[in-house]
Chains A and B, each alone.
Chain A
Amino acid sequence: MGKISLEVNGRKVEKEAPDNTLLSTFLREYLQLTGTHIGCDTSQCGACVVHVDGNSLKSCTALAADVNGSKVTTIEGLETNGKMHPMQEAFKKLHGLQCGFCTPGMVMSAVDLLQKNKKPSDTEIRDWLEGNICRCTGYQNIVAAVKEAATKI
């Protein structure tokens, strides 16, 4: 048991949690931020991707204790004043989702890509999304959405 202090989506939080608490569990069950999804739980699918200190990671494969003191951004932290983030807008506009399960991870991963590469090519987008699996869309519209968002960010 230990104290976990994080800044999540700009808000300081502090909770006691057992040492084996995963970051994904901490976000979902301690902070009720259920936008971060748990899919495979074996770090393959990427539904649980969040940002920690500006970099994307799979929150089902990080201990909350391990990122203690960090700044975390989840899918809930992307909107500003009720307005969707340009990446979310682009996914909506271009049908970059069907069932939506993978979407929070896809969006968080894609936002991290644009932080590092403002104008990615199709190949760079596909390479970057290597760790995010979607079983509905066939990826075409996801790639199109990321390209569209790149023109807006």
Chain B
Amino acid sequence: MKDFNYHSAKDSKEASQLASSSSAFLAGGMTTIPSMKLGLATYQDLIDIKNIKKLSGIKVSGKSVTIGAATKHVEVSNSKDVKKAIPSLSSLAEGIGDPQVRNRGTIGGSIANNDPSADYPSACIALNATIHTNERKIEAAKFFKGMFETALKKGELIEAIEFQIPEKSSYQKHPNPASRYAIVGVYVAKYKGDVNVAVTGAKSCVYNDKEMSKALSGNFSSSSINGMDLDSSEMNTDMHASAEFRASLVVTQAKKAVDAC
């Protein structure tokens, strides 16, 4: 790994002041460090944001659950408040990687990285999340721009993610057996008069499947999407699954999610 300067920021202001075109924020480091070790990314400066107190913690209000960006997966999965308000979010966190990854990895890091197979981006889309940064609030639907791309500008730091509590929800993933990343993951959330079906792992970026959302908004039953033939032309093909298999998996996982709601 090439050398860099390590900084530990005291607050968001200091973190964004230290940021430059050759820096990265360091949270759990579960992607940043392996990427740097493999030479896929190099930075002159790493700005550690874990010690910024304001960025950790979970708050539940009547309508929403707000999770600080540096909150670890283990904290989300163990939180009684999250389990009560949005149980599917708690079980999503419990299914990320392995215990050692969950002890370090953070929700903000996962979202900022926007891996096409990551779990949390689907939760943001399904649960109508708002991403709070040190500069503005961004709706999840406008946040995830493409493979590893987000609406974040250089030096902009995610501070918290605010999820809207749904009537019912479930996240079902078909994981890669080695990495636990989603080959396909589907997060279904039902709100009054509206259903979101967020899909991760299938395409280059998380998305809300309009066809299934529409069908489920009309009739919230797995029978309404049974046998749906999704367009696989934009879906990923790799050694783990073909695009056609992924298209079929999306429907299977969505049905499982609806049945589990």
Chain A interface (Cβ within 8 Å of chain B)? Answer: 2, 18-20, 22, 41-44, 46, 49, 55-58, 61-63, 65-66, 109, 112-113, 128, 130-132
Contact = CB atoms under 8 A, between A and B. Distances in A.
A56 B103 contact: yes
Interface residues of B, number: 29
B1 interface: yes
Nearest to A56: B100
A69 to B, nearest CB: 10
Nearest to A132: B98
Interface string B63-102: 0000000000010000000000000000000000111110
13 contacts: A20-B6, A43-B33, A43-B34, A61-B29, A61-B30, A61-B104, A62-B33, A63-B29, A63-B33, A66-B6, A66-B29, A109-B99, A130-B98
Shortest 4 CB-CB contacts between residues of A and residues of B: A131-B98, A19-B6, A130-B98, A65-B6
Contacts of A42: 34, 37-38
Given A46-B100, A63-B33, 8 more contacts: A42-B37, A44-B178, A44-B179, A46-B98, A57-B104, A65-B6, A113-B99, A131-B98
A2 B180 CA distance: 35
Nearest to B99: A128
A56 B101 contact: no
A63 B34 CA distance: 11
